[in-house]
Structure 1
C-alpha cells in the first residue's frame, strides 16, 4: 500500500508543480516586458536628450559671446566648460546612435523598437497570463494553503514599515527637542540676541517644519497601526499552526478558509486606517 500511496501523491503533486511553474513563467514574462519598456524609455530619452542638449549648447555658446562679450574675449573658463560639455554631448550622442542603428549585435536589447510595440506585447502577455491563470488555477484549498505561506512575508513587510515610521518619528522628536532647547540656550546666551539672530531664525524654522510634518504625516500613528496589524496577523498564523481557537475545526480546509477571511479583513482594516490618516484633520472631524 505504501508504494501505491507514494505514486498517487507524486502524481498529484506533479500537476500542481507544473501549474505553479507555468504561472511563474507568465509572471516573469510580464515583469521582463515591464522592465524592457522602462529601459527603452530611458534609451530614447538619452538618445534624443543628448542630441537636443548638444544642439542647445552649440547655440548658447555663440549667443553668450554676442550678448555679453561682443567686443571682448570670453573668459577661458567659460570656453573650456562649454567646449568640454559640447564634446561630451557629441560623443554621447554618437555612441547612442551607433548602439541604436549601426552596431550588430547592439548592446541595447530593443534597439529600433518603438515603445508602443513593447506596450502591445505587454498587453498581450498580461492577457495571456490572465487566461492561463483561469485555466491553470489550482483548487481553492490549495490556493488557501499557498496564501497561508505568504502571510509571514506580509507580516515581515508590515513590521519593516512600522520600524521605518517609528525611526522617523523618533528622529523628528529628537530634532524637535534639540531645536527647542537650542532656541532657549541661544536666547539666554546672547542678550540681546542680535549676534545669533540667524541661528534663532534657523532653529525656529526647524521647529515649525518638524511640528507641521509630524502633524501631517503622523509617523507615530502609522507605526502603531502597522505594528498592531502585524501582531494580529502573527497571532492568527500561530493559532492556525497550533490548531487552537478559532481554528479548531477537524477539516483543515475550513480552518484555511477562516484564516484567509480573517487576514484579508485585517488588511482591509489596515488600508482603511491608512486612508483615514491621509485625510485632512478637518475632514476627519466632520
Structure 2
C-alpha cells in the first residue's frame, strides 16, 4: 500500500512536469507565431521598398514569402482555436498559466515529501532496496564509460589519419592550390582534436567510470556471497556497511569528475 501511494505521487509529479513543458511550448507558439508573422511581413515590405520600389517584386520571392505568411496565419488561427474555443478540447491546460502549473508541481512535491516521511520504511528495508537498485547504476556507469571510450578512440583515429594525411599531401604536392586548402583543413582538424582531447579527457573519464563500476560490482558480489567484508552474522550490519562503502565510491567518482572538469591549476589545488 505504501509503495503504491508513493508511486502514484511520483506519477503525478512526472505528469505535471510534462504538462509544464507542453504548456511552455503552447505559450511560446501563441505569442511567438504572431511576432514571427509580423517580422516576415516587415521583411517583405522592406525588400519591396529597398529594391523593387518602382518595379514588380520577383515572383519567386513573392511565392516564398507568401507561402510563409499563409502558413503562419494558419498556425495562428489553429492555436487561437485550440486555446480559446469551447468546442475543441485539444490542449489539456488551455487558459492555464505556467505559473499555476508550477505551483501545482510544488504542492505535489511537498505532498510526496510529507507522505514519504510519514510512510518511511525501516533503515534495513531501505538498505536492501538500495542494493537492488545498484545493477542499474552499474549499467549506467559502464554505458558512460563505453561512450567516452568510443569518443576517445574516434578522436585518436581522426588524429592519426589527419596527421598522416598532412605528410602525405605535403609529399604528393609541392602545393599550390588546392593542396594548400587541404593542408590547412587537416592542420585545423589536428589542432581541434588535440585541444578537445586535452580539455574533455574522454580516456580518463572512461577509465574512472569503468573503475567505479567494477568496484561497486565487486562489493555487490561480496555481499551476495557473504564474504569479507560482508561476512558478519547480522544482515543489517552487512547492508549498512555495503551502503556506506558504495556511497563512498560514488562520492570518489564525483570528485574525480570535478577534478577533470577543472583547469590544470585547479586540479592541482583540489588534489
Shorter-chain TM range is: over 0.9
- Paired residue secondary structure (2:178): helix
The corresponding residue for 1:277 is 260
CA distance in 2 between partners of 1:66 and 1:84 (Å): 20
Instruction: Give the Å deviation of 1:71.
Output: 1.4
The corresponding residue for 1:40 is 23
Of 78, 81, 85, the match for 1:102: 85
Superposed CA offset, 1:188-245 (max 9, x none): 0002454300000000000000000000000000000000000000000000001011
CA distance in 1 between partners of 2:213 and 2:88 (Å): 50
**Count of matched residue pairs:** 269
Superposed CA offset, 1:16-63 (max 9, x none): xx1111111111111111111011000111111111111221222122
The corresponding residue for 2:113 is 130
Instruction: Give the Å deviation of 1:282.
Output: 2.4
The corresponding residue for 2:6 is 23
The corresponding residue for 1:114 is 97
Q: Does 1:205 align with 2:188?
A: yes
The corresponding residue for 1:3 is none
Preserved CA contact (<8 Å) 2:81 2:88: no
Instruction: Give the Å deviation of 1:73.
Output: 1.3
Of 174, 177, 187, the match for 2:160: 177
- Greater displacement, 230-239 / 59-68: 59-68
Preserved CA contact (<8 Å) 2:222 2:229: yes
CA distance in 2 between partners of 1:105 and 1:82 (Å): 30
Q: Does 1:216 align with 2:199?
A: yes
Q: How big is the alpha-carbon RMSD for the aligned residues of Structure 1 and Structure 2?
A: 1.0
The corresponding residue for 1:225 is 208
Note the residue ranges of structure 2 that are not aligned, 5 or more in a row.
none
Note the residue ranges of structure 1 that are not aligned, 5 or more in a row.
1-17
CA distance in 2 between partners of 1:59 and 1:167 (Å): 49
Q: Does 1:157 align with 2:157?
A: no
CA distance in 1 between partners of 2:175 and 2:31 (Å): 59
Preserved CA contact (<8 Å) 1:187 1:193: no
CA distance in 1 between partners of 2:257 and 2:17 (Å): 28
Q: Does 1:90 align with 2:78?
A: no
- Greater displacement, 162-171 / 40-49: 40-49
The corresponding residue for 2:32 is 49
CA distance in 1 between partners of 2:180 and 2:197 (Å): 26
| TM-score for both structures, normalised by structure 2 | 0.97
Which consecutive segments of 4 or more residues in structure 1 shift more than 4 A? Answer: none
CA distance in 2 between partners of 1:53 and 1:79 (Å): 17
